Structure 1
Amino acid sequence: FYHAWIGIRDIWMDYIKPVSIRLTLQVLTVLYLVACAAYAVQILWKV
């Protein structure tokens, strides 16, 4: 999770210059990664 966040964050910070768009993408990325982590936990919990 942390490794994915750092990689995507670096891409957003390097290539997206407008702050509002960058912040929006960062928030959406965090929400997506949290949802993926929750889904993975849900899958593992059922096993």
Structure 2
Amino acid sequence: MSRRASGLRAWFLQRASAIYLLLFFLYILLHFIVDAPADHAAWQSWVAQPLVGFGLLLFFASLLLHAWVGIRDVVIDYVHPTAIRVSVLSVIGFVLIGCALWVLQVIILAHVA
């Protein structure tokens, strides 16, 4: 993709991740209205189901991608000195990677236990 189309890619990623976040949120909401887990063991067995675990991984990947694109655009628009911009984006990137590793750990532990 050319440099001119990078804004289009960010726009598409933002919209696609928002659609998945909405659809998965509606699924979760409907599931909890119909059959809410009663205790921690029920939550853990529900998350340990392969499709639910994959859906959660995709949900959090979409959430982190959505956050990255939004925050990146704001930082690029409002932080003009290049050194500060790179520093802020690096810190945000490391925080989001840490969040991704934490989510991965939680979902893997739900499958193991």
Task: Check whether TM > 0.5.
Answer: yes
Higher relative contact order (CA 8 A, sep 6+): 1
Instruction: Name the structure 2 match of 1:4.
Output: 67
Letter in 1 for 2:109: K
The one of 17, 30, 47 equivalent to 2:93 is: 30
Structure 2: 5+ residue stretches without partners = 1-63
Structure 1: 5+ residue stretches without partners = none
What is the distance in 2 between the residues matched to 1:3 and 1:46? Answer: 25
What is the distance in 2 between the residues matched to 1:23 and 1:29? Answer: 10
% of aligned pairs identical?
A: 34
Work out which of the two has the higher radius of gyration on C-alpha atoms and give 1 or 2: 2
Structure 1 stretches (4+) deviating beyond 6 angstroms?
Answer: none
Task: Calculate the TM-score normalised by the size of structure 1.
Answer: 0.91
What is the distance in 1 between the residues matched to 2:109 and 2:69? Answer: 29
What is the distance in 2 between the residues matched to 1:9 and 1:31? Answer: 13
What is the distance in 1 between the residues matched to 2:65 and 2:108? Answer: 21
Task: Calculate the TM-score normalised by the size of structure 2.
Answer: 0.40
What is the distance in 1 between the residues matched to 2:106 and 2:69? Answer: 25
Q: CA deviation at 1:32?
A: 0.6
